[in-house]
Amino acid sequence: MEPTVTTARAAEIVSIGYEGLRSYLKRGLLGSGGLMAPFVHRDAPAPDLSRARAKWKRFGVVDLCLIRLAKQLIDLGLSFDEANGIASREDVRRVYSHPRGLPGATLMTWPPHYDFIVFAGDDLRHLPNRLGEAGDVAVLVQLDRIADHVRAAMDGDEQGEA
C-alpha cells in the first residue's frame, strides 16, 4: 500500500503553510485529476467534483509532487489558475506515477498562455530548440527533483516510525 501523510505533514513537505494548503485545496487545487468519477444514475445530476480534494485528509507521493509543482510554478510567477491548470493534468500526473520515475524529466512553460511541454528520456534533446522558440521568457521546472524531494521526506517519515 502506498504511504500517505496527513494534511499538516503534506503542507510541510510541499513548503506551504497548513492554512495555505487548505485554501489551495478549497480553491480546487488539482481538481479531480487522479480521482475516479463516481457512478451516477442517468436521471440524477452529476456531483460537482471541482473541490473534491478540499475534504482530503491523506496525501500520497503523486499528490504531493503535483502540489509542490503547483507551488513552484506560482513562486515562479504563474497565477494559481495557470499553475493549477498544469499540475492538475493527467499527463503530468502520469510522469509522477511512472514506476521507475523519469530521470531528467523537465517541464517547460512560457507566456502568454503558459502552454507547457514535458520533456523526458530521449525528448530532452529537443529542449534547447524549444527554448529558442519560446522567446525571451520560459519557465523550467525539473520534475525529477520534485519527486526526489517528496520521496526523501516520505522516506524520512518511514524511518522515524521504525
Task: Give the model confidence (pLDDT) of 65-91 as tens digits.
Answer: 999 999 999 999 999 999 999 999 988
Collapsing DSSP states into helix, strand and coil, what is residue 19? Answer: helix
Whole-number pLDDT of residue 103? 84
Measure the CA–CA gap between 146 and 35, rounded to whole angstroms.
Answer: 22
Predicted TM-score (pTM) of the model is: 0.81
Domain residue limits, the chain? 5-32+49-161
Whole-number pLDDT of residue 56? 63
> What sign results for the dihedral spanned by CA atoms 93, 94, 97, 102?
negative
- Top-confidence residue, 32 or 100: 100
Q: pLDDT band for position 160 (50/70/90)?
A: low
- pLDDT above 90 covers a percentage of the chain that reads 48
Measure the CA–CA gap between 134 and 151, rounded to whole angstroms.
Answer: 32
Pick the CATH number of 5-32+49-161 from 1.10.357, 1.10.10, 3.30.420, 1.10.1660: 1.10.1660
> What sign results for the dihedral spanned by CA atoms 112, 114, 119, 123?
negative
- How many CA atoms within 13 Å lie on the side-chain side of 77? 11
Residue count of the chain, please give it: 162
